[in-house]
A = this chain, B = another copy of it.
Amino acid sequence: MLEDAVKSAWQYGRRFLLNGKVADYIPELSKASPVYLGVCVHTMDGKTVEYGDVDQRFTIQSISKVITLAMALELLGFDKVFSHVMMEPSGDSFNSILKLDTASNRPYNPMINAGAIDVIGLLAPEVSFETLLAFARTICMDDGIELDMDVYRSEAFTGDRNRAIGYLLKSKGVLSGDVLSTVDLYFRMCSLSVTARSLARLGQILANGGVNPVTGERLLSAQTVRTIKTLMLTCGMYDRSGELAVRVGIPSKSGVGGGIMSCVEKCMGIGIYGPSLDEKGNSIGGVYLLEHLSKEMHLHIFDSE
């Protein structure tokens, strides 16, 4: 039955691929094929169901915001992190600087670029890129995660808006440390190569309250996981998060590389790869796939049936 539901959702999602388009703001991303769609589900009781392009490597992009936030919460604590960044959905696009300049010195949340750069800035004095990479491999149970040098160079080449955000944060005293190297670390984290499978593992660990369901090892504290899942629900899908919270009701984080990482409380982790994006930057096939799956299997957090 899980197999049927995932297959049917995957087939449903594929129908919408041509309604979206591949990210083009970074030259390297625009090379992805819009017809890819892969989904991997890891359930808590050890089952794995996969359809489509689940082996395909792609860059993690904004989903890395979950990983750096997790590390910051573990290393620096909830209070320290949230004295630098707020927890509010911004209602603006992920690379907006509007509110940063008019409403609040602190970025609205760690899921928009300003917030993520801020969090990276907090981590930078403590951890190296290598440490973060190792942490990403552990938390995604995927030793194949590497820095995709082509995408990284492309990010770095075209990342002036993120540099502007970094300097703005610095000018407000929110970010300390060197701006350019902080933003560079942000670009590196966005350029990690993952698969739908690795995202499903990360989702599974979050669904399981922070404990690796295979080894039983606690990787993240309960508070960190609760915080992250809530922020994924309210801010994880760019400025379509609110709508998808209503329609899908599964905490999810998407990236413009085409990935979506989702977790169904105490039930399953879901990883999706589909580089054809909706106008907000979410995998369009992935969003429809999730909506279908949520409906069929009653996965919405407030499903009462």
List the interface of chain A (C-beta within 8 A of B): 86-92, 96-99, 101-103, 108-109, 160-161, 163-168, 170-171, 179, 208-210, 222, 225-227, 229-231, 233-235, 239-243, 245-246, 249, 251, 265-266, 300-305
What B residues does A243 contact at CB under 8 A? 86-88
Question: In the assembled complex, which residues on chain B have CB atoms less than 8 Å from the CB atom of A240?
Answer: 88
Is there contact, CB below 8 Å, between A242 and B89? Answer: yes
Given A91-B88, A245-B234, does the pair A300, B226 have CB atoms closer than 8 Å? yes
Say how far A47's CB is from chain B's closest CB, in angstroms: 20
Give the chain B neighbours of A251 by CB distance below 8 A.
Answer: 302
Contacts of A179 in B (CB 8 A): 160, 163
B89 contacts A103, CB within 8 Å? no
Give the distance in Å from the alpha carbon of A95 to the alpha carbon of B139 in the complex.
42
* Beta-carbon contact of A246 and B225 below 8 Å: no
How close is A277's CB to chain B, nearest CB, in angstroms? 18
Does the CB pair A242–B302 fall under 8 Å? no
Residues in B neighbouring A164, C-beta threshold 8 A: 164-168, 170-171
CB distance from A266 to the nearest CB of B (A): 7
